[in-house]
Amino acid sequence: MAFPVEQIPDNDRLFRHVPNKPKDFWVPEQNRPSSAAFKGVRDKLDRRFRTSVDWEKYKTAEQCKRSNSMAVVAVTAGQSRSIGKDVEHTPIWSESPNQAHADICDLTGNPMSNTQHSVASGRLAEMAVVVWPSDGKPVLDSQ
Cα angle: 54, vertex 60, 63; to 5 degrees: 85
Percent over 70 (pLDDT), the chain = 97
Domain-embedded: residue 4: no
pLDDT-above-90 percentage for the chain: 73
Mean pLDDT score across all residues of the chain: 91
Structural domain contains residue 91? yes
* Assigned domain for 92 exists: yes
Contacts for 77 with CB less than 8 Å, ≥ 6 apart: 8, 9, 10, 11, 12, 14, 87
Q: Is residue 134 part of a domain?
A: no
18 and 70 Cβ atoms separated by less than 8 Å: yes
The answer to whether position 26 is within a domain reads yes
- CA distance linking residue 113 with residue 125, whole number of Å: 18
Q: Which domain holds residue 25?
A: 13-127
Does residue 142 have a pLDDT over 70? no
Q: What is the pLDDT of residue 141?
A: 63
Confidence of residue 143 (pLDDT cuts 50, 70, 90): very low
List, in sequence order, every residue forming a beta bridge with 102; answer none if it has no partner: 53, 89
Could you report the per-residue pLDDT of 10-57, keeping only the tens digit for each? 999 999 999 988 778 999 888 899 999 999 999 999 999 999 999 999
Exposure string of 27-53, with b = 16+ CB inside 10 Å and e = fewer, is: eeeeebbbbbbbbbeeeeeeebbbbbb
Q: Average pLDDT of 104-127?
A: 93
Number of domains in the chain: 1
Does residue 105 sit within a domain? yes
What's the confidence (pLDDT) of residue 48?
A: 93
